[in-house]
Chains A and B, each alone.
Chain A
């Protein structure tokens, strides 16, 4: 799903709920009604949500695997290459000693896997993004404490401001509000 660019007016519609179950229900209903460009906001992860939103991406685990493989190859390759290019023959040790090489191979595998996982998560989430139109919605500061929000964005093919607002009202939220596009902060 792509969010609309921040200058579209209005950016979307937001409904506020006071319990996580209501939000999950609302997301399921919106999907059934055919809305696809939508997002939910909650203070903590809701287990049912990825399925309710129809998300089944596994990009992060794949990135983790890729990082691990690349890290292990880097670690082992680095030790092979340097021992070949700059041999230090001391203590009767063989030049290519695979047993001690495993230590650094393992450490670099972990380092790359975690680095790829976390960097990948941030990039896929388009974070950091310090400013976003949803922050201007009334009460949205409670999305990090005790309130639950559903947004339907204006780039959804079925989005029509009055009809969508009426649909959201039918889900019995605390309130429905238009998300105003906001200018970038000065």
Chain B
């Protein structure tokens, strides 16, 4: 068994930052990641890092923009932590050598982004995430932090109390992709989940193939609540044929969206009379799809994003990467013609419920980055707010797990006196197919007493049993068939526009996928680099997350931020200024709510009408 003070699961921006912070606080820390860290999807982030660095800008303004962008569903203490810490963290990245774009005076460059009242998006070309990821990995190498790369963590080792909030996480189970070895990892102080987003739940996504939401699913099945999962961000500018992201930086620098009639529809259609192309992402995505659905799309599929008027020099200076992406993945030269774009799944606002230090409802378990919900994005994330989230909360969680005293958190986790139970009617039962015998429904407690080493060993034994079952079964269903059906129903029914019948259909399709998954089998008999096995385990996670997203979407009978319901066309502050939470409850999901925290230290954020 491997043993460390702090284990960080995932080697993207959040995980690397957490590991550095834990190491600096004196902990023996290791990173366990299914990809080598530099392969992480943080590297695909393009636009930039929102940080208050310049005269005329204020932390209060960044916090206000973020709360407004969230449609008043973010928790103010978390938002204020993000905006307060981001300037220090951004400059810290610069001090670690990150190659930001520069002004003539040698200072780092900033540009306008959607939903921002000040041009505070700090960038490195249109490849900010790549540079952030590599800069952090360089610091991990410098510190000699141990990295178990191409080790796939597939199960948490937790104690088996009935009430999940009494449980404790003492380690994880890892699968060495290269050798097929299954090994226990004991964490003396804390396990930090930094496993990234769940984009593979959708057919058309900007996310990597590795983004299967493993962290959310492992935590969920171990009893940790998932929060606000219905809030999925669809980025307005993705390439139609592949889902490859075209940065908001294009619009930040002055790029314009046109419909098939050559109209600048954001203004002419009245979608965003003030901000136009720089309205927030939910607004722009809905505008595009409305144009397409009403017959003003090009080939009934997309709209045009034009940046030719910016001129070659400015484009190559600030957006060169976009030229390569459009050429390589859509065959379009954006210096000479407009780029076809349409909305695509991009980011999960919801996630594992945490406070502003990354702590979950389970003792010893933390979550940070996209897989976490602190919550700073609420119902809609502003562009440029994800990268600061990674470094700010990565640092917080790393320090806290290493034993540093960060004071009292102000965002509650788990059920409190203020939480209320909820219910939602579904056409089919959600949750485990056959309670008690669902071998893949791992996580919720290993009856091995109180000894941490024994609990990890028991989890290892349970995981070996699951893998043996998957490997030994003959003539089962291929995971790729199941995954594809889930992706298709989500893309069709739980998309930008959501209707009651579609959501019900999605739940039926997900149920069918779940039932088929009971017969899933792995064809590849090899222990060496068995991606067939890895993808099969991931597919189970995709199913659980698709269900959680759809249940949240069914439950929330209002229109807020990225969550649009045909029958409920208004934001309902009277009934819905609250977070949706979903607990796995050993296979019978429970819905409950907790109030949003609008009182910050800087101010109280009274909900106002949101227009751009």
The answer to whether A and B assemble together is no
A interface residues, Cβ below 8 angstroms from B? none
- Which residue numbers of B lie inside 8 Å of A, CB to CB? none
